[in-house]
Amino acid sequence: MKLSEMKQILSSGQIQLTKSLGQNFLHDGNQLRRIVDAAQLTKADRVLEVGPGLGPLTELLVAGAGEVLAIEKDGRLVEILRERANSKFKIQNSKFQLVHDDALDFIKRERRDWTGWKLVANLPYSVASPILVELAQAGGCPDRIVATLQLEVGRRAVAGAGDDDYGVLSLLLQLRYEPEANFKIPADCFFPVPDVDSACVVLVKRAQPLLPKADEAQFERLVKLSFSQRRKMMLKLLKQEWPAEKLTAIFEELNLSPQIRAERVTLEQFVELTKKLFSQTF
């Protein structure tokens, strides 16, 4: 979809885009194709798209995948996309399902098993992080995530220990996923042009889980407490919840300095801390 066509559709429908919904539509064909290439689609794939808007990415997903479920919050865009799907996509109803709903509410309410699915989406900036975390923590999470995010959020998603952007989001996503790739998308590839650049990140589900599903809530609790005050030593923060003697023994066993801050603790070390704090008797 060219920018001129996008503007014409919006103008003819007298649609004013809503900034609060994060309605910045990607129109650059090269960037759209890069996203689809990163998704590595086959006709056997089931794809979840959040915020399809006018459908420039949707059209490519339908052409490459076996099934596409798109969730759009704006009812005005739902009607336009339904018309375009019937006239331009030329697809069977069984291949494309469009749901008028808030995507975050839908994912929380439905509690689907997303195993075997891929998330491929230009996520609305305002809800990108909670949607990613919700899907990553689902009982069955998508096999692959290809998501366009605000550049800062994209950096946080793929950051490792010691990086400035490393934090809670990095760890909650990377417990289930390994970052595979990422690339920057300039602001002028969108309409309207947002105030910030974006990035597309590719996350691939780990072949073997780092923790049993039953322990993931404890991992999240540990991580959030550890980063609750970034400049404070992690050991002091954890003493709010666990005995100092127990913590000191575990830190020594894992060769963690008593002065270390959470931003220097690796994913693997957080996993081992979780196992020892919640599974080991002292």
Please give the tally of structural domains in the chain.
Answer: 2
Query: What is the structure's pLDDT at 19?
Result: 65
Q: Where is the domain boundary, 205, 221, 240?
A: 205
Q: Is the pLDDT of residue 280 over 50?
A: no
Per-residue pLDDT band at 22 (split at 50, 70, 90): low
Per-residue pLDDT band at 282 (split at 50, 70, 90): very low
**Could you tell me if 102 and 235 lie in one domain?**
no
* β-bridge mates for residue 97, sequence order: 69
**Could you tell me if 199 and 227 lie in one domain?**
no
* Residue position matching structure tokens 């969730």: 71
| CATH number reported for the structural domain that contains residue 219 in this entry | 1.10.8.100
Which DSSP string do the residues of 92-158 spell out, in sequence order?
-TTTEEEEES-HHHHHHHH----TTEEEEEE--GGGHHHHHHHHHTSSS--SEEEEEEEHHHHHHHH
Per-residue pLDDT band at 89 (split at 50, 70, 90): low
Structural domain containing residue 245? 213-279
Task: Give the predicted TM-score (pTM) of the model.
Answer: 0.93
* Residue position matching structure tokens 């689902």: 138
**Could you tell me if 246 and 174 lie in one domain?**
no
Q: Where is the domain boundary, 177, 205, 233?
A: 205
As a whole-number percent, the residues of the chain with pLDDT over 70 amount to 94
Q: Is the pLDDT of residue 25 over 60?
A: yes
Over residues 227-275, the pLDDT tens digits come to 999 999 999 999 999 999 999 999 999 999 999 999 999 999 999 999 9
Q: From CA 245, how far away is CA 239, in angstroms rounded? A: 9
**Could you tell me if 70 and 170 lie in one domain?**
yes
* Residue 22 structure tokens: 């994060």
**Could you tell me if 165 and 232 lie in one domain?**
no
